């Protein structure tokens, strides 16, 4: 397991490291990331002042995506890196300078443990959770380059079917900004499935202010990339998780074949 730096201030011996990796020797060109995989809270932060009923909701993590990500990693033989602490502690897909990095309010819920947080406490969360996760993604991309292994970044997420009272019709969305290769291909294959409502940059679009993983590790490093958002009610049990992992494995297999034919996968 990767070391997390100085653990004296936030993470104690009883807390697990933020990063977990699956299939590190995977040979697939797809590098899978999962920023909102877990909903752990460091022991010293208690429950952030929230009842359990809030800590299991989408505000704390991406419901269902862990099972999809693990199975997809296996099917594709792809390296998967995940972050296990709740996004209510620090959101690993937000630039640390934006207000939603350590949210005082998420959807309509006030987070008492984040109210009035000191600059030092905020920096400690960054130093012990956010930074090690993103440093490790950087290292993985470097190592793949040295090994002449091509890298296509796929950032996996799930979204709540209803947000602030508004229902969302999409089953799955491709989220992107500057990559012109992967998202159109993915959208085309998702639409060809015939039974899906496909979001084209829905329910969100990627931007430099609202995202971190794709702009920093995908775009700035010149990698083809996409975010994937799956609606949470479709992956709320193992059957749903496995069905979506199977489907995405098939689709990404087709994408890999098409990319190789177009010689897009040189390291």
The site for Zn ion (CB under 5 A) is made up of 36, 62, 157
CA 179, CA 184: separation in Å to the nearest integer? 9
| Choice between 62 and 256, CB closer to Zn ion | 62
> Least CB distance from residue 54 to Zn ion, whole Å?
17
Nearest residue (beta carbon) to Zn ion: 157
CA 9, CA 68: separation in Å to the nearest integer? 33
CA 235, CA 181: separation in Å to the nearest integer? 27
> Least CB distance from residue 62 to Zn ion, whole Å?
4
| Choice between 79 and 157, CB closer to Zn ion | 157
Supply the Cα-derived Rg of the chain in whole angstroms: 18
Find residue 225's DSSP bridge partners.
153
| Choice between 187 and 230, CB closer to Zn ion | 230
Of 54, 216, 68, nearest to 131 (Cα)? 216
Of 34, 221, 254, 241, nearest to 144 (Cα)? 221
> Least CB distance from residue 212 to Zn ion, whole Å?
11
> Least CB distance from residue 40 to Zn ion, whole Å?
15
> Least CB distance from residue 159 to Zn ion, whole Å?
8
Alpha carbon dihedral 180, 207, 27, 172, in 10-degree steps, equals -80
| Choice between 11 and 230, CB closer to Zn ion | 230
| Choice between 150 and 215, CB closer to Zn ion | 215
Contact 2, 63 (CB under 8 A): no
Element (H, E) at 82: strand 80-83
């Amino acid at each position: 397991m990767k070391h997390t730096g100085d653990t004296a201030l936030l993470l104690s011996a009883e807390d697990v490291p933020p990063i977990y990796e699956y299939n590190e020797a995977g040979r697939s060109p797809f590098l899978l990331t999962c920023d909102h995989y877990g909903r752990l809270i460091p022991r010293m932060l208690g429950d952030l002042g929230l009842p359990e009923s809030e800590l299991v909701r989408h505000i704390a993590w991406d419901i269902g995506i862990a099972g999809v990500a693990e199975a997809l990693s296996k099917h594709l033989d792809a390296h998967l890196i995940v972050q296990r602490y709740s996004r209510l502690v620090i959101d690993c897909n937000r630039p640390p300078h934006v207000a939603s990095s350590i949210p005082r309010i998420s959807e309509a819920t006030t987070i008492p443990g984040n109210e009035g947080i000191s600059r030092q406490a905020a920096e400690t969360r960054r130093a012990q959770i956010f930074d090690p996760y993103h440093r490790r993604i950087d290292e993985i991309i470097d190592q793949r380059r040295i090994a002449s292994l091509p890298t296509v970044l796929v950032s996996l997420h799930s979204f709540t079917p209803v947000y602030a009272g508004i229902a969302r019709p999409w089953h799955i969305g491709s989220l992107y900004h500057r990559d012109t290769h992967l998202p159109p291909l993915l959208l085309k294959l998702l639409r060809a499935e015939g039974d899906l409502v496909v979001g084209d940059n829905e329910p969100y679009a990627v931007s430099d202010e609202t995202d971190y993983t794709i702009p920093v590790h995908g775009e700035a490093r010149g990698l083809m990339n996409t975010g994937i958002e799956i609606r949470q009610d479709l992956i709320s049990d193992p059957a749903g998780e496995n069905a979506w992992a199977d489907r995405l494995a098939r689709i990404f297999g087709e994408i890999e074949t098409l990319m190789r034919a177009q010689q897009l996968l040189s390291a």
